[in-house]
């Protein structure tokens, strides 16, 4: 099977006053019609990897790669206009900062209706019905009120769910979801995950699921990349995450608080400078 | 001390509304709870159930409320003064919205320290950054140059700067990876022990609440459906259906 997306030797760099920050350092991976998890500590380059695929790194940041191929087309060679079409139709991303991706001066309803009409040329009334269905699908309790509300009037978890609804409207081939459920309680989280799951299984969507929740990723995803300092340090089947070998992954697992067994202190990670220098693991077939 | 201590926080019959009077939305319905000085109280429950709104009403960010709220015995009115913010600080749920985009980390922290009359500001800024695991390399960065978790740590450092007695923590670690979460939770536990701080902590992660708190209120649809001890939670000793459901759903997730 040829992958949907294939990335070779991706770098993201930011020149700053105090030198160049290398946020992503030469990673390679591919995505099929699967649920691919990316985990790793804060600052390890997860969000920048997702944004780089869509060429959404703000200047002065620089993206370099041998290729970022969607099917067989290298996204790095496309014009900005072509790239916009890819972003609207083929690859959607749920950003880590959901409320910032919504228009603050437009009601939620107007934004959902607009997104829907842009995509399917439906009538206003149809689009409205669809929008309400989408909100119900992500377990919003009172969709009629939410349609009339502005983004700042939403709770943290409601903002996340609205963004997910929004990103699924164009029926993308690939969804990049950056911490999409970090503000959701377990039951709502389950409902949102099952929507994404259905899209992968029924429509063959490829999902990149960025999260720091190791238990969640190991239960929900098929495959997991573990990032550290801009590199991939380990790749494994999601259900084997708890047997992961790399000391960094083991350290991450060890620092989780447990509901059933109280502990006075949580173990913190002892970082080994050698981890930074180890070459990135290839996660391509 | 023979007298019983005044609780750090007493909330009684709190109702909070949003929007114009004729179409206002009743976000918190008749909520009551008490947090003793030095205790750590959890708020858990459904997304959109009013957890953040309770904290916002306390800090004066949700002006339409009725009921009584007392901090260290003092009844709160419509306005909050600087003294209030020296003793009560909040870490907001959304690390992206809570930092000013044009202020560097250094400016955010120095200004807060200055406002609260601190001395040795330079040393204190470095110390605060160390405490939240960032280090001085981040001192002159702007918010857009930080990852989500790094921003949240700046927000936590800012809340700690005035050395408050009560910290209101709204999902303080949900944007953080587990290793940083462990560092922050340990730091918060140490600070509480050293300075006898009082915490109110909102989290959707029951393992985090169980680790940090002694008691928690469970919310659904604007109401507190139940207040229970963490031991009761661990033993599955819940009275309300919703709490039982929440505990069951979380139990499945514990690996
Ligand atoms: N504009 C910028 N200038 C300089 N450094 C930057 C910039 N944007 C991001 N970085 C740095 O790049 C690194 C990777 O950031 P990224 O947002 O990908 O982290 P992340 O893995 O998503 O972390 P988190 O889990 O905290 O969201 C971080 O160390 C961050 O500080
Ligand atoms: N400024 C506002 N204007 C109107 N309604 C608001 C406003 N802020 C919050 N609400 C509404 O109040 C309700 C409670 O919101 P709140 O933010 O307290 O929820 P929460 O329990 O913190 O949820 P989450 O876990 O998702 O953050 C929601 O239905 C929300 O839409
Ligand atoms: Mg991120
Ligand atoms: Mg909230």
Ligand 2 pocket residue status of A154, Cβ below 6 Å: yes
Instruction: Suggest the residue from A56, A144, A212 to mutate for an interface test with chain B (most B CBs closer than 10 A).
Output: A212
> What CATH number is attached to the domain comprising B116?
3.40.50.300
Distance CA(B118)–CA(B231), nearest Å, equals: 40
The DSSP 8-state label assigned to residue B138 in this structure reads G
Comparing A37-41, A258-262, B215-219, which segment has the lowest mean pLDDT? A258-262
pLDDT classification of B255: cutoffs 50, 70, 90: very low
Radius of gyration of chain B (CA): 18
Q: How far is the CA of B28 from the centre of ligand 2 (A)?
A: 9
Distance CA B5, CA A9 (A): 62
pLDDT tens column, B20-77: 877 889 999 999 999 999 999 999 999 999 999 999 999 999 999 999 999 999 999 9
CB-ligand 1 contact for A14 (6 Å cutoff): yes
Does a structural domain hold residue B80?
yes
Tell me how many domains chain B contains: 1
Tell whether A50 lies on the interface with B, counting CB pairs under 8 A. Answer: no
Query: In 3D, which of B1, B194, B164, B186 has the Cα closest to residue B90?
Result: B164
C-alpha A102/C-alpha B126 separation (Å) is: 35
Q: Which positions in chain B touch A96 (Cβ < 8 Å)?
A: 96, 148, 175
Residue B105 lies in a domain: yes
Q: Is B25 close to A263, i.e. CB distance below 8 A?
A: no
Tell me which residue in A39, A155, A269 faces B52 most closely, judged by beta carbons: A155
Q: Which of A214, A198, A195, A157 is nearest to A41 (CA)?
A: A214
Gap between the Cα atoms of B55 and B206, Å rounded: 19
Asked, for residue B2, whether it belongs to a domain, the answer is: no
State the pTM of this model.
Answer: 0.89
Classify residue A204 by its DSSP letter: -
- From the CB of A232, is ligand 1 less than 6 Å away? no
Kindly state the average pLDDT of the residues A75-92.
Answer: 92
The residue ranking higher by pLDDT, B241 or A264, is B241
What CA–CA distance (Å, rounded) separates B70 from B73? 5
pLDDT in tens, A87-109: 878 999 988 877 677 888 999 99
The answer for residues whose C-beta is within 8 angstroms of residue A203's C-beta and 6 or more apart is A171
What ranges do the domains of chain A cover? 100-171
Of chain A, the percentage scoring pLDDT greater than 70 comes to 99
Residues from chain B that touch A190, judged by Cβ atoms under 8 A, are 249
Provide the mean pLDDT of chain B. 90
A73 has a pLDDT exceeding 90: yes
Number of CB atoms found within 10 A of residue A191's CB: 14
pLDDT in tens, B99-129: 888 899 999 999 999 988 888 999 999 999 9
Q: Name the residue range of residue B200's domain.
A: 9-254
Q: How many residues belong to chain B?
A: 255
Supply the pLDDT for residue A121.
Answer: 82
- The answer to whether residue B133 scores a pLDDT higher than 90 is no
Taking only the tens place, the pLDDT of each residue in A159-195 is 889 988 888 888 899 999 999 888 888 888 888 898 8
């Amino acid at each position: 099977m040829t992958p949907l997306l294939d990335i070779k030797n991706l770098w993201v760099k930011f020149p700053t006053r105090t030198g160049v920050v290398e946020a992503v350092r030469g990673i390679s991976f591919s995505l099929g019609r699967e649920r691919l998890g990316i985990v790793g500590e804060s600052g390890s380059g997860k969000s920048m990897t997702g944004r780089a695929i869509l060429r959404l790194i703000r200047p002065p940041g620089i993206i370099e790669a041998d290729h970022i191929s969607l099917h067989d087309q290298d996204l790095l060679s496309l014009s900005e206009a072509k790239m916009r079409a890819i972003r609207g139709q083929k690859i959607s991303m749920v950003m880590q900062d959901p409320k910032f991706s919504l228009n603050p001066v437009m009601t939620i309803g107007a934004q959902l209706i607009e997104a829907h009409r842009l995509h399917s040329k439906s009538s206003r009334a149809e689009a409205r019905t669809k929008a309400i269905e989408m909100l119900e699908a992500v377990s919003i309790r009172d969709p009629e009120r939410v349609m009339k509300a502005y983004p700042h009037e939403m709770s943290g978890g409601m903002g996340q769910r609205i963004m997910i609804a929004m990103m699924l409207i164009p029926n993308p081939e690939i969804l990049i979801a950056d911490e999409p459920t970090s503000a959701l309680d377990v039951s709502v989280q389950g409902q949102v995950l099952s929507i994404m799951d259905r899209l992968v299984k029924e429509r063959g969507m490829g999902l990149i699921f960025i999260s720091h929740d190791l238990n969640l990723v190991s239960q929900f995803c098929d495959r997991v990349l573990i990032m550290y300092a801009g590199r991939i340090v380990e790749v494994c089947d999601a259900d084997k995450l708890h047997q992961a070998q790399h000391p960094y992954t083991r350290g991450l697992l060890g620092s989780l608080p447990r509901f059933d067994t109280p502990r006075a202190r949580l173990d913190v990670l002892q970082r080994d400078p050698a981890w930074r220098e180890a070459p990135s693991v290839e996660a391509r077939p | 001390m023979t007298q019983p201590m005044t609780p750090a926080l007493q909330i009684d019959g709190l109702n909070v509304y949003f929007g114009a009077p004729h179409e206002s939305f009743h976000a918190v319905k008749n909520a009551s709870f008490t947090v003793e000085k030095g205790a750590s109280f959890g708020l858990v429950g459904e997304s959109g159930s009013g957890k953040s709104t309770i904290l916002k009403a306390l800090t004066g960010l949700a002006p339409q409320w009725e009921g009584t709220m007392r901090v260290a015995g003092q009844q709160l009115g419509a306005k909050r003064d600087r003294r209030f913010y020296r003793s009560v600080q909040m870490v907001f749920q959304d690390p992206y919205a809570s930092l000013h985009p044009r202020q560097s980390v250094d400016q955010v922290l120095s200004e807060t320290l200055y406002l609260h009359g601190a001395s040795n500001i330079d040393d204190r800024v470095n110390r605060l950054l160390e405490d939240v695991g960032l280090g001085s390399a981040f001192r002159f960065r702007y918010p857009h140059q930080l990852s989500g978790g790094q921003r949240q740590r700046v927000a936590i450092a800012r809340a700690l700067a005035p050395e408050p007695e009560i910290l209101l923590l709204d999902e303080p670690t949900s944007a953080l990876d587990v290793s940083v979460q462990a560092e922050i939770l340990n730091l918060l536990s140490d600070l509480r022990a050293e300075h006898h701080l009082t915490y109110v902590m909102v989290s959707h992660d029951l393992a985090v609440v169980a680790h940090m708190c002694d008691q928690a209120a469970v919310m659904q649809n604007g109401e507190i459906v139940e207040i229970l001890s963490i031991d009761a939670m661990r033993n599955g000793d819940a009275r309300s259906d919703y709490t039982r459901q929440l505990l069951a759903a979380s139990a499945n997730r514990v690996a």
